[in-house]
Structure 1
Amino acid sequence: MFEGYGLYAVIALFIIVPLAIYAGMLLSQLKKQTADQIIAEQEKQAALKRHDTKILNSVVIIVRAMKEEQCDISEGCWRLSVLLDSLKLSSELNTLFPSVYGLYEGIKHMPILEERKKLTKPERMRLDFERMKLEADLKSKIQQDVHEIHQYASERLSVIAP
């Protein structure tokens, strides 16, 4: 009566054991992929932190130079805007520091270096006047933004620095 069941048990073992081994292999592969994804994400975050640390250190240097009047307001705002926009772990800083970004927006169309040299003297004077007027209009607000940027950069560095 049980002789037929033995044959079924052997057939079942020939089916179940390979399926169990295959399932174990798939679970092992999934575990490895998950671990690899976690490591890749950690490496990505570490790279972003290194990038932002470098940028924030540059921001602190420019802010100090602006505070000590070793850096022109327009040049400082230009550099700060570009650097702050390149941060990977922060966003929408233009709303936190509107005057710095405002001056940058007002002057970014102006030619620099060789392109500026190609302008006629009246064109350069007109652009200089436009830039100086913007600087004068925004100076006190920019000084406040610069102070806040210094504070922001210092705080972010203390959070993300290893």
Structure 2
Amino acid sequence: MSLEIILLVIGLIIVSILAAIAGVLLYKVHQKNQVQRALLAEKEQAIKEQRANINRSIQILAQASQSEDLTLTEACIRISVLLDSLGVDDGVREEFSAFYQLRSLTEHIPILDGWKKLSRKEQMQFDLQRMKHEASYRDFVLDAAVRIKGREF
């Protein structure tokens, strides 16, 4: 055999090996991309389900505020926090400002352990404040609760 043929064969072997390596690497990249797409789809589905759960919670709270199953203050705090967790825009926050306004007026009132640490007299004073704010915002909040029904954010 001549030197040219030997070099040609060696060159073809090298090119074949490099092509095989490139093919294997390309296949690995393809597999990795498929896995990433699947993970992204799962994450998007989980986010979608979480948003749906939060939206359902908002609907339940709006209904509960109308049937007085919980105080207007508690409903406003919970609904406004849930709306914020969904990242609603300023237009939605303005449309449902009743929830935010009552929350703002009552956010100084201690909750949970802070409430338990208060004397009975202090608790009564805060309850009177809360009920006074709820009375003045009642129609505004209940209107917002009616308007939020069936909405998804």
TM (normalized to structure 2)?
A: 0.80
Question: With structure 1 as the length reference, what TM-score do the two structures score?
Answer: 0.77
Q: How many residues align?
A: 151
Find out whether 1:91 has 2:88 as its counterpart: yes
Matching residue of 1:159: none
Match of 1:91, as an amino acid?
Answer: V
Equivalent residues in 2 for 1:100-119, closer than 5 Å = 100-119=99-118
Deviation at 1:52, TM superposition (A): 2.1
Q: How well do the aligned residues superpose, as a CA RMSD in angstroms?
A: 2.5
Shift of residue 107 of structure 1? 1.9
Letter in 2 for 1:97: F
| 1:48 lines up with 2:47 in the alignment | yes
Q: 1:74 Cα deviation (Å)?
A: 0.7
Moved more, 132-141 or 95-104: 132-141
Instruction: State how far apart, in whole Å, the 1-side matches of 2:145 and 2:136 are.
Output: 15
Unpaired segments ≥5 residues, structure 1? 157-162
For structure 2, the residue ranges without an aligned partner over 5 or more in a row are: none
In 2, the alpha carbon distance for the partners of 1:43 and 1:69 equals: 38
Which residue is equivalent to 1:141?
A: 140
Which residue of 1 is the match for residue 60 of structure 2? 61
